[in-house]
């Protein structure tokens, strides 16, 4: 929240600029994604900690450098051309690229570069780098697994059988790859001679149920084939009087693929959970940082609704979460000023304001800084900082009053008083000095020819000045 009194703001865009810069630097350095800013000459002018770690170099080494100072010539040329395209067109540029880090590890990066302008209309390029290696590997693993599954399923033809209700084979369509029974000469034989007893009993039960209900019966069975357990899907449907059609599909590879996918799914869920916990820790660190700031800090969305407020801000202005300026019962002129300032910030400006606000019946002076929150898709809200400078202002006022009292004492002393700076210029010339010499302070103070004016004799003047300027010498 930005406090305004009825009087006009007196702050300027330069007041305490270092305060928001330090704060925003902490926020940016808390992000895990590398971020950099280049000027129009393609030189790095701002880097967060993640970017320095990404390149394995210190910030002081990289600042002021360009891609040609760090990367191989061919790669630097590509980066330069891409940056220049963003500067020329003003359009954001986003792409994916393989990058080998200082440890020789190749990573897949998503790089986005955008053009911004500062308050002086100077152009800068902002780049954000995201490591998407894990995502790409996961996508490729999923594609490969799905491809394997499709190949396995499409390559396994079904075994088709026709049987009587009591289990005699009427027809059998063998395949070259489906060697379940070991023989294709089954017509006229009983099921009891081709399957284990427990599978025979189950098959006959499902056949009888199909004949009784007229409905499709589906079940699975495990059968040992050549010292290997295979999983089959059995479909039974009525095909005539006391006759059924049986379709046997080998599901072994499909089951294995499903288990592999389940394993991969569990692994991905574990990775997502790990990433989620990391994000939660990062958010907790950022929240702790904001909560421990020695001044009020808050943010609002693009509708000016407050969405974050630290403890000091709540102590200063009360709980504003979920509230807009329109909800605060403000005087019309103050509400209008707040909405105007918010609109400026959401348009990209950074405002530095200084206002007096009454709390508990006492005036408090705050320096307020409002800055836009930049997201990938644009400005996502605004960030506010309220710094209580009441005591600072009181101290400044007391200092000015003391200086004025001292000036009046010096001016009205009944003896001549003057003082010289390190360059020999007279900077103090009181009323008694004016009366005795006849020269006014306007004529004497900061006059480069003052010594010649007061002491025309060169030899005497040089001797006198020598005594005055000699350290440790008192002269009257």
Question: Do the beta carbons of residue 454 and residue 448 sit within 8 Å?
Answer: no
Question: Do the beta carbons of residue 108 and residue 133 sit within 8 Å?
Answer: yes
Question: Do the beta carbons of residue 9 and residue 353 sit within 8 Å?
Answer: yes
Per-residue pLDDT at 174: 61
Beta-carbon count within 10 A of 383 CB: 21
Question: Do the beta carbons of residue 2 and residue 373 sit within 8 Å?
Answer: no
Going through 101-214 in order, the beta strands assigned E by DSSP cover 106-117, 123-131, 159-164, 169-173
Per-residue pLDDT at 202: 94
Q: Produce one character per residue of 83-114: b if its CB has 16 or more CB atoms within 10 Å, e if not.
A: beebbeeeeebeeeeebeeeeeeebbbbbebb
Question: Do the beta carbons of residue 391 and residue 366 sit within 8 Å?
Answer: no
Q: What is the largest CA-CA distance in the chain?
A: 145
Q: 456 — alpha (psi -120 to 50), left (phi > 0) or beta? A: alpha
- Which among 205, 202, 194, 150 has a CA at the least distance from the CA of 172? 194
- Could you tell me the two tokens for 440? 């006014």
Q: How far apart are CA 178 and CA 189, in angstroms?
A: 19
402: exposed, middle or buried (C-beta count within 10 Å: 0-12, 13-18, 19+)? exposed
What are the phi and psi torsion angles at 452 (to 5°)? -65, -35
Beta-carbon count within 10 A of 76 CB: 16
* Lookup result for tokens 């955008």: 114
- Which among 164, 187, 184 has a CA at the least distance from the CA of 175? 184
Beta-carbon count within 10 A of 215 CB: 11
Q: How far apart are CA 370 and CA 386, in angstroms?
A: 9
* CA 234 to chain centroid: 54
- Could you tell me the two tokens for 292? 């421990």
DSSP 395-449: HHHHHHHHHHHHHHHHHH-SS--EEE-TTS-EEEE-HHHHHHH---HHHHTT-TT
Q: What pairing do the DSSP bridges indicate for beta strands 217-225 and 106-117?
A: unpaired
Q: How far apart are CA 178 and CA 180, in angstroms?
A: 6
Q: What pairing do the DSSP bridges indicate for beta strands 243-250 and 159-164?
A: antiparallel
Walk along the chain (476 residues) in steps of 10 and give the mean pLDDT of each run: 33 43 81 94 95 90 94 90 94 86 82 92 94 91 71 56 92 61 69 90 95 95 85 92 91 88 92 89 84 88 92 88 89 89 94 84 88 91 90 87 82 80 82 86 86 84 75 61
Question: Do the beta carbons of residue 3 and residue 368 sit within 8 Å?
Answer: yes
Q: How far apart are CA 96 and CA 87, in angstroms?
A: 20
Question: Do the beta carbons of residue 251 and residue 232 sit within 8 Å?
Answer: yes
Question: Do the beta carbons of residue 108 and residue 132 sit within 8 Å?
Answer: yes
- Could you tell me the two tokens for 399? 């200092």
Going through 342-412 in order, the beta strands assigned E by DSSP cover 351-359, 362-375, 378-388
């Amino acid at each position: 929240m930005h406090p305004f009194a009825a009087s006009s703001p007196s702050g300027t865009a330069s007041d305490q600029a270092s305060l928001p810069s330090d704060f925003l630097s902490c926020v940016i350095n808390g992000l895990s994604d590398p971020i950099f800013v280049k000027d129009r000459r393609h030189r790095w002018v701002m880097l967060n900690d993640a970017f320095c770690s990404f390149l394995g170099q210190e910030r002081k080494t990289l600042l002021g450098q360009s891609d040609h100072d760090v990367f191989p010539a061919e790669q630097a040329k590509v980066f330069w051309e891409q940056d220049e395209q963003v500067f020329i067109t003003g359009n954001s540029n986003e792409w994916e690229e393989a990058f080998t880090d200082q440890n020789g590890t190749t990573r897949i990066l998503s790089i986005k570069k955008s053009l911004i302008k500062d308050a002086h209309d100077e152009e800068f390029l902002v780049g954000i780098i995201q490591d998407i290696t894990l995502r790409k590997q996961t996508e490729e693993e999923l594609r490969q697994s799905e491809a394997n599954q499709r190949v396995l399923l499409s390559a396994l033809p079904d075994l088709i059988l026709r049987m009587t209700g009591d289990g005699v084979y009427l027809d059998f369509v063998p395949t070259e790859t489906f060697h379940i029974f070991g023989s294709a000469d089954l017509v006229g034989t009983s099921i009891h001679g081709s399957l284990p007893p427990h599978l025979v009993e189950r098959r006959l039960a499902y056949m009888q149920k199909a004949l009784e209900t007229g409905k499709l019966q589906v079940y699975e069975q495990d059968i040992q084939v050549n010292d290997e357990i295979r999983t089959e899907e059995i479909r039974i449907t009525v095909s005539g009087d006391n006759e059924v059609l049986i379709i046997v599909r080998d599901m072994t590879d499909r089951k294995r693929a499903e288990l592999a996918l389940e394993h991969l799914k569990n692994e991905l869920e574990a990775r997502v959970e790990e990433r989620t916990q990391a994000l939660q820790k990062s958010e907790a660190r950022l929240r702790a940082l904001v909560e421990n700031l020695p001044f009020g800090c808050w943010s609002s969305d693009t509708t000016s609704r407050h969405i974050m407020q630290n403890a000091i801000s709540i102590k200063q202005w009360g709980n504003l979460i979920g509230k807009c300026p329109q909800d605060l019962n403000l005087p019309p002129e103050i509400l209008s000023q707040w909405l105007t300032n918010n609109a400026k910030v959401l348009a990209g400006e950074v405002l530095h304001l200084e206002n007096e606000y009454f709390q508990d019946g006492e005036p408090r002076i705050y320096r307020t800084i409002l800055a836009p929150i930049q997201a990938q898709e644009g400005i996502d809200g605004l960030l506010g900082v309220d710094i209580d400078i009441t005591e600072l202002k009181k101290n400044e006022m007391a200092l000015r009053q003391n200086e004025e009292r001292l000036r009046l004492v010096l001016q009205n002393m009944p003896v001549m008083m003057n003082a010289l700076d390190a360059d020999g210029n007279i900077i103090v010339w009181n009323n008694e000095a004016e009366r005795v010499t006849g020269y006014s302070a306007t004529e004497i103070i900061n006059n480069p020819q003052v010594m010649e004016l007061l002491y025309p004799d060169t030899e005497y003047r040089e001797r006198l000045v020598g005594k005055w300027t000699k350290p440790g010498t008192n002269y009257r």
